[in-house]
Structure 1
Amino acid sequence: MKLSEPQALNRVAAYCSRTERSEFSVRKKLLAWEFPEDAVNRIIDRLKKEKFLDNARFARSFINDKIRFNKWGRTKIVFELKKLNIPESVYNPILEEVAGDEFEKQLMHILAIKEKSVKSKNDYDKKTKLIRFALGRGFSMDLTIKCVNKLLGGDYEEHFS
C-alpha cells in the first residue's frame, strides 16, 4: 500500500508526537517509504512549522537521557549526535549548560560502583581497568584520570611518562 502525502504527514506527525525525533530519523523513515525528495522536504518543513520536529529540542532530550539513564560521557554523546546529523551549533550550547560538575559526579558514581566488581592483581591493574571502563562510556581521559585518582588515591599520570 502506497501512502499519499497527507497520510504520510499524519503518520509521521504521530511518530513525532510519541517521543522527540531528529530530522534525520524522520527523513530516513520517509525515504524508506519511497517518497521523492521534494515531498520529504515539504513534509519536514510542515512538521517543523507545526512544532512536531525540532532538532534543538531533540538534542536537549537526547543529552539529558544519555547522561541520566545511560551514564554516558560527553565524547560518546557527541559521537552519537553527529551520527544523527545534529549540527554542532545545536548541541554545543546544551552540553555547555550540563558540562563540568554533572559529568564528574556521574563518573565518580559509576566508577565507585564498578570499582567494587573489578578483579585485579594490583592497584595499577585496577586503575587501568577503571580508566578503560570510563573511556568506553565516553568520558575524557583528563576527567577519567582525575576521578580514578580521587577514588583510589595515587597519581596515575606517572605511569605514562
Structure 2
Amino acid sequence: MKLTEPQALNRVAAYCSKAERCEYDVRKKLVAWELESDAIKRIIDRLKKERYLDDARFAKSFINDKMKFNKWGKAKIIFELKKKKISESIYNPVFEELSGDEFEEQLMHILTIKAKSVKGKNDYDRKTKLIRFALGRGFPIDLTIKCVNKLLGGDYEESVS
C-alpha cells in the first residue's frame, strides 16, 4: 500500500502513541508503505523531535515488560533488543539499574512452578530439564544452577553440555 508522506506521518504517529516503539519497527512499517528514503528520514526525525519515538525509552519499557510479564532472563532480552537494532549503549544502563536479585527471584519463581510439572527418571534428569528450561528463557548458567540446587537440593555440577 502506497501512502503520501503526510498520511504516513499521521498513521505512524498514531502507531507510536499506542505503545512504545523503536526506530527499527517504525522504519520497517514506513518501508512497507513504499515511502522514499528521504521521506522516511524526515518522518523519523520529526517523530524523534516530538518525542513519539525514543529508543532509550523503548528499551527501558521492553526490558521491564519482558522481565515482568514474559519472565525472560537477561540474555534473551538482549538478543531481542539486538534484533531490533538497539545499541548496547542504550540498554546497558537500564540493566545496570536492575539488581541481580530481581533476576534470581524471578528465576526461582518460574523454576518452582516448572518443577511441579517436570518428570524425570531421577533427580539428575529433573535438574537437567529444569536447567535447559531456564537457559531457554535466557538466564545465565551459574544463576540457573544455583537456583536449581536451592530448589531441589544437592550439588549439580557445571559440566552440563
TM-score by length of 2: 0.96
Partner of 1:94: 94
Counterpart for residue 137 of structure 2 = 137
Matched with 1:45 is: 45
Q: Does 1:155 align with 2:152?
A: no
| CA RMSD between the two structures | 1.2
- Structure 2 residue runs without a partner (length 5+): none
Moved more, 22-31 or 150-159: 150-159
Q: Which amino acid aligns with 1:117?
A: S
SS of the counterpart of 1:156? coil
Give CA deviations for 1:109-150 in whole Å, capped at 9, x if unaligned: 000000011111111001000000000101010110011011
Q: Residue in 1 aligned with 2:55?
A: 55
Question: After the TM superposition, which segments of 4 or more aligned residues of structure 1 sit over 3 Å from their partners?
Answer: none
Alignment of 1:1-161 (within 5 A): 2-157=2-157
Q: Partners of 1:74 and 1:99 in 2: how far apart?
A: 12
CA distance in 2, matches of 1:33, 1:112: 46
**How much does 1:159 deviate?**
5.3
For residues 37-69 of structure 1, give each alpha carbon's deviation from its aligned partner in whole angstroms, at most 9, with x where no partner exists.
111011000000000000000001100000000
Cα deviations by residue, 1:80-112 (Å, 9 ceiling, x for unpaired):
000000001000110121240110000000000
Asked if 1 retains the 8 angstrom alpha-carbon contact of 2:145 and 2:158, the reply is: no
| Contact 2:59/2:91 (8 A) holds in 1 | yes
After superposition, the Cα gap between the structure-2 partners of 1:69 and 1:40, relative to the gap in structure 1 and judged at 3 Å, is same
Alignment partners' CA distance in 1, 2:130 and 2:62? 26
Distance 1:114 1:144 in 2: 13
Paired residue secondary structure (2:130):
helix
Which amino acid in 2 is paired with 1:62? F
- For structure 1, the 5+ residue unaligned runs are none
- Cα distance in 2 between the residues matched to 1:139 and 1:150: 16
Identical aligned pairs, as a percentage?
76
Aligned equivalents of 2:96 and 2:53: distance in 1?
Answer: 23
Q: TM-score of the superposition, structure 1-length normalised?
A: 0.96
Seen in structure 2, the aligned counterparts of structure 1 residues 34 and 159 have a Cα distance that, compared at 3 Å, is: closer
